[in-house]
Structure 1
Amino acid sequence: MGKIGIYGSSFDPITNVHLWTASTVAHRCKLDKVIFLPCSNKRKDKQMNTKDEHRWNMVQLAIKDNERFIADNYEMLQDAWKISTYETLKYFKQKYKNDEIYFIMGADLLIDIGEGRWGNSELLVKENKFIVMARDGIDMVKAISKSPILRNNDDGNTFHLIDKGLSMEISSTYIREEFKLGGEPRYLLPGKCYEYCINHDLYK
């Protein structure tokens, strides 16, 4: 049995911090694979800044040389009404029946789930396992204890909390702003992705 982490994000664009985070989580949690799962443009709760095609191409370019990283466009191919983390994890648990599946997320999303803002929040927690990365100002243990959804569906193995050494502040938003305003984000994202953004005139 292997251990697989599902790393969902807009990746708009994918950054070196995304790669470093995935690598660090894989190392600390002994994951065999990390699946990079770009969000779909069809999602109603997110506003993308470029087409699915470009974000998908950049993710593939970014992870190409790491055999532990996989890209999957499952959510991009779904109808809008079918896109939810609960349904997505059901799909991956079916696809990798013999492996343990973990959803990788930041502590800010833990709070959102705990407050019932995600579809099927209670079943999502009850039926899945999570690797939760620290975010500045968020007490993850307190967030779990304060939420009936989180605390009552935690069997002791539901949440793997990573609270040290994962705080890096370079975001996709920062990179987009640099491109838009004529800055120089060259070393904040993989070199091939930087070139891709330049060649396709993205984020201007």
Structure 2
Amino acid sequence: MGKIGIYGSSFDPITNVHLWTASTVAHRCKLDKVIFLPCSSKRKDKHLHTTDDHRWKMVQMAIQDNERYIADKYEMEQEAWNVYTEQTLTHFKEIYPDDEIYFIMGADLLVDIGAGKWGNTEALVRDNRFIVMARNGIDMLKEISHSPLLRNHDDGRTFHLLDKGLAMEISSSYIRDEFAVGGEPRYLLPESCYRYIKEHGIYR
């Protein structure tokens, strides 16, 4: 039996912090694979700044030298308004029936799930496991204890709380802003992605 982490994000663009986070999680949680899962551009809660094709190509370029990393287009190909994370995780559990599946997320998303803001929240928490990364200003244990939903489904294995030990919060939006004003974010994202963005004039 293996252990697989599902790492969903806009990846608009993918950054070195995404890669470092995935590597840290994989190392500390003994994951065999990390699946990078770009979100659908059809999501009503997301405003993406480039095409699915560009985002997909940059994710592939960013992870190509790490055999533990996999890119998957599942959510990009869905009609986003009909797909919840709970369904996504069910999909991967069907693909990898002999492995343990974990959803990798930040503590800010734990807060939203605890407040019932996600679709199919009861089934999501009841039937899945989560690796939760610390975020500045969020007490993860307190969030679990204050949410009836989270605390009543926490059997000691549902939530793996992980403090990365280093506050690296450079965001995709910061990088987009730098490109937009002629800044130089070169070493905040993979070199191949930096060159791709410059070549195609993305985020101007």
User: Where on the TM-score scale, by shorter chain, does this alignment land: which range?
Assistant: over 0.9
CA distance in 2 between partners of 1:43 and 1:147 (Å): 26
CA contact (8 A) 2:49 2:203 kept: yes
Matched residues in 2 for 1:88 and 1:167: separation?
29
Report SS of the residue matched to 1:112.
helix
Q: Could you say which residue in structure 2 is the equivalent of 1:160? A: 160
Distance 2:168 2:132 in 1: 15
Q: How many residues align?
A: 204
Residue 32 of structure 2 corresponds to: 32
Contact 2:134 2:162 in 1 (8 A): yes
C-alpha distance in 1 between matches for 2:52 and 2:154: 35
Q: CA deviation at 1:123?
A: 1.0
Residue 137 of structure 1 deviates from its aligned partner by 0.4
Unaligned runs of 5+ in 2: none
The more displaced of 148-157 and 29-38 is 148-157
Q: CA deviation at 1:164?
A: 4.1
Which secondary structure state, in structure 2, belongs to the residue aligned with residue 170 of structure 1? Answer: coil
2:51 corresponding residue in structure 1:
51
- 4+ residue segments displaced more than 3 Å: none
Aligned twin of 2:22: 22
Contact 2:62/2:193 (<8 A) preserved = yes
Preserved contact between residue 179 and residue 203 of structure 1 (Cα < 8 Å): yes
Give aligned-pair identity as a percent: 74
On the 8 A contact 1:133/1:166 being kept in 2, the answer is no
Shift of 1:24: 0.5
- One-letter identity of the residue aligned with 1:147: S
Counterpart contact for 1:86–1:119, Cα < 8 Å: yes
* Alignment RMSD (CA, Å): 0.8
SS in structure 1 opposite 2:6? strand
| Contact residue 12 and residue 172 of structure 1 kept, 8 A | yes
What is the deviation of 1:166? 4.4
Residue identity in the other structure for 2:5 = G
2:76 match: secondary structure: helix
Please report how far the alpha carbon of residue 167 of structure 1 lies from its aligned counterpart in structure 2 after TM superposition: 2.1
